[in-house]
Amino acid sequence: MAEITLKGLAHSYEKTPKGAADYAIRQMDHVWHQGGAYALLGPSGCGKSTLLNIISGLLEPSEGDVLFDGQRVNELPPEERNIAQVFQFPVIYDTMTVFDNLAFPLRNMNTPEYRVKPKVLEVADILELTSLLDRKAKNLTADEKQKVSMGRGLVRDDVTAILFDEPLTVIDPQLKWKLRRKLKEIHERFNITMIYVTHDQLEASTFADKIAVMYEGQVVQFGTPRELFERPAHTFVGYFIGSPGMNFMAVEYRDDQVMFGTQPLPVSEQMKHAVANASSANAIANDISYNNIKLGIRPEFIAIASNPTADSVPIQVTSVQDLGTYSLLTFKLNEQTFKARLPEGHPPVGEAAFAHFDAAHVALYIDEYLVEAGHE
Amino acid sequence: MSLHLQNIDHIVNGVPHISGIDLALEPGSFNVLLGRTLAGKTTLMRLMAGLEPPTRGKIIIDGKDVTNVSVRKRNVSMVYQQFINYPSLTVYDNIASPLKLAKHPKSAIDKRVGEIAEMLHIEHLLNRYPQELSGGQQQRTAMGRALIKDADLILFDEPLVNLDYKLREELRDELRDLFQARNCIAVYATTEPNEALALGGNTAVLHEGKLLQYGPTEQVYREPNGRFSAEMFSEPPINIVPGRLTDTEITFDQSLHFPCDDKLKRLEPGDYDFGVRASHLTLQPQRADDLALDVHVDVAEISGSETFLHVHHERFPLVLHLSGIHQFSVNEPLKVYFPTHQLYAFDKQGHTVHIPARQGGAAHG
């Protein structure tokens, strides 16, 4: 059982890193609380594997500390950290029975046999492996093998955390949800800190109560699945979460209006003030040579109509795709492409239409970070 | 060109891989082969390409029998799951290779490579080598090579499966646009129903080596000709609940009775499998005739912006497709609402006997 703290942590594979670009992990502080179900989500190359290896002890960080329950463990090898890992491909002994596979970590620690058996039976029961205990592991299906891999982490009472690295990659698509259910059940029952590393939003949001989204070596948001969807803290989160992701507009404050190119945008008074402030703040801090102010809106929160209203903008519809459960509408506004999501049964839309941005879900980003979000 | 597969059987070591497939593809059409792993998608594409001849049946191109004409003599391009490029050639030379082989003049090659690279957004990478590229860029290069020659037939065998979902979204959009401007036949294999819907065109649903249904993608989705077709072409899969229809009501599980929709009354009384789409089940009642069901949560699968909620009723499991993020605990009790006016009905042979009316109008620009 442990709380895992990353303190001033950074890592570079270079001997003498020169700038931010030389860091796989840029300086960060982070706490994984005891018993939490977490995910570490990001595209390939974002630094999530580096971070995982630092937590498990395969890699020593070049800067900062890793603390388990307040104790510095930077130099501790993996086997002394009491961390169990489940990898993409099941790691089990093919020639052993399921029982012996599950018993292996216990026997390895010289646990007396009378204590091995009840523990193995308990874990087998939870994982629904009881009927397979006498089978040789090599005859199991991929999902059964992966359950045995998990079970080997669960039999040990001394395990402080379980790290999962894309554990469902080899599982048949039709069976994945069953294993996802199993993982959640295990988490609720065992109260072990679990960290699930993946590049897939579905894997992360299904498993985790809180997700750390990594981008270019930094955690850009640490939040619940709902927060990532409704209030992305960074433009990357807006883009990466949701299919399709958030629409962004580079805006400026001009003539008492929020302008997207030549198009004035109808936004709430509050948002207008926020954009005005950001613009003047940028003007004062002249040493910043760029002017990076964006509004973001998710496709789910754009309403499309054939007639104008007081707070809609004229758009040019370029396509409507029927995706079964909903339609995806692509439109142009100020020469830029946008996506909007229309519910099933939405009335037909012509080429010239009007878009309304739900003020509660328009968010302001300065230098890619969230500054002001709409209010319900 | 047109491509017609006539009564194709393909048997390997006594095991049928393709059984009795008859399929005619129109000139300029975009066609999705949808089916689970081992449904016969790859085999069918190999036969279309001429990589091997079928055990039985004919392959007709533009009215000519080409069943035994080898792949070298057919004008075909293929893109595979794995990103296949020449490692020692630059992106430019990789894309240009089919034209160089055909001895096109350099100026013409330059122009074509430029156009294709621009279309695929890799024009800034032409001097790089494949190993210096990301997975998405490597697959774009492989696609560029397939697209540069004016092939009559382009085959894509799950080309996006090894890419992350953001890249998949982007490349899928590009592919759609790309083929709108071309006159060749494109065939695209996938295991994912949502990918078929996103690509549009026509869809052929394959299952265990047989063609279940072929037609415009949206039509196949909305009007599946049978239970299997409906199940293969929905993600999460359409819910199927066995029940009994009498003159006035439907009974599920011998204990749940509800009055049946007028349109279902024209069916013969008897046992049917009733299908309801995951997106048509709700957490709040939508209509007076919705059936309230007491269920327990199995798991809520959350996909960034939507939730697939797996639950089980006393006797049957259900999946709900909800918009937005909804979190539930395992085994949490819950009430869900079952739309009794939106049922598909399949007879015990698996044929579709009733299709619910579409809600609202179609949204088309």
Q: pLDDT tens-digit profile of A178-213?
A: 889 889 888 988 889 999 999 999 999 999 999 999
Per-residue pLDDT reduced to its tens digit, B321-358: 999 999 898 899 999 999 999 999 999 999 999 999 88
CA A346 to chain B, closest CA, distance in angstroms equals 6
Instruction: Verify whether the Cβ–Cβ distance A317 to B298 is below 8 Å.
Output: no
Mean pLDDT over the full length of chain A:
91
Instruction: Verify whether the Cβ–Cβ distance B303 to A349 is below 8 Å.
Output: no
Res A300: pLDDT: 95
Q: Is the pLDDT of residue A87 over 50?
A: yes
Q: Is the pLDDT of residue A170 over 90?
A: no
Per-residue pLDDT reduced to its tens digit, A42-75: 987 788 989 999 999 999 999 999 999 999 999 9
User: What's the full length of chain A, in residues?
Assistant: 376
CA A46 to chain B, closest CA, distance in angstroms equals 13
Mean pLDDT over the full length of chain B:
91
Local confidence band at A283 (pLDDT 50, 70, 90 cut-offs): low
Element of type H or E holding A278: helix A269-284
Candidate from A40-49, A98-107, B185-194 with smallest mean pLDDT? A40-49
Res B243: pLDDT: 94
Res A374: pLDDT: 81
Return the biggest CA–CA distance within chain A: 81
The ipTM assigned to this model is: 0.85
Query: A-contacting residues of B 28-57, CB under 8 Å?
Result: 36-37
Rg (CA), chain B: 24
CATH number of A247-373: 2.40.50.140
DSSP state of B268: P
The answer to whether A237 and A226 have CB atoms below 8 angstroms apart is no
Q: Is the pLDDT of residue B200 over 70?
A: yes
CATH number of B239-354: 2.40.50.140
Per-residue pLDDT reduced to its tens digit, A11-51: 999 989 988 889 999 999 999 999 999 999 998 778 898 99
Closest CA to A235 of A222, A223, A225, A248: A248
Res A65: pLDDT: 96
Which residue ranges make up each domain of chain A? 4-240, 247-373
The two three-digit tokens of residue B105, written as one number:
């003049």
* B194, B304, B321: residue with CB nearest A241: B304
Average pLDDT on B39-61 reads 95
Q: Which distant-in-sequence residues (6+ apart) come within 8 Å of A5 by Cβ? A: A30, A31, A32, A65, A66, A67, A68, A70
Q: Which distant-in-sequence residues (6+ apart) come within 8 Å of B83 by Cβ? A: B130, B135, B138, B139, B141, B142, B162
The residue with greater pLDDT, B285 or A290, is B285
Percent of chain B with pLDDT strictly greater than 90: 72
Q: Which residue of A has its CA nearest to B320?
A: A325
The answer to whether A88 and A166 have CB atoms below 8 angstroms apart is yes
Per-residue pLDDT reduced to its tens digit, B127-139: 999 998 888 889 8
Judge whether B198 is closer than 8 Å to chain A, CB to CB: yes
Q: Is the pLDDT of residue A338 over 50?
A: yes
Q: Find the angle CA(A331)-CA(A333)-CA(A335) to the nearest 5 degrees.
A: 100
* A201, A244, A300: residue with CB nearest B323: A300
Q: Which residue of B has its CA nearest to A301?
A: B324
Per-residue pLDDT reduced to its tens digit, A345-358: 899 999 999 999 99
How far is the C-alpha of A146 from the C-alpha of B33, rounded, in Å?
Answer: 30
The answer to whether B201 and A328 have CB atoms below 8 angstroms apart is no
Q: Is the pLDDT of residue B252 over 70?
A: yes
Q: Is the pLDDT of residue A314 over 60?
A: yes
Res A1: pLDDT: 61
Question: Which residues of chain A neighbour B221 with C-beta distances below 8 Å?
Answer: 324
Local confidence band at A286 (pLDDT 50, 70, 90 cut-offs): low
What is the topology classification, in CATH, of domain B3-232?
Rossmann fold (3.40.50)
Which residue ranges make up each domain of chain B? 3-232, 239-354
Average pLDDT on B87-109 reads 95
Instruction: Verify whether the Cβ–Cβ distance A240 to B166 is below 8 Å.
Output: yes
Percent of chain A with pLDDT strictly greater than 70: 97
Average pLDDT on A301-323 reads 94
What is the topology classification, in CATH, of domain A4-240?
Rossmann fold (3.40.50)
Res B133: pLDDT: 87
Average pLDDT on A99-127 reads 94
Q: Is the pLDDT of residue B364 over 60?
A: no
Average pLDDT on A251-269 reads 93
How far is the C-alpha of A342 from the C-alpha of A356, rounded, in Å?
Answer: 12
Q: Which distant-in-sequence residues (6+ apart) come within 8 Å of B283 by Cβ? A: B320, B322, B326, B334, B335, B336, B337
The two three-digit tokens of residue A99, written as one number:
């029982």
Q: Is the pLDDT of residue A175 over 90?
A: no
Q: Which residue of A has its CA nearest to B37?
A: A172
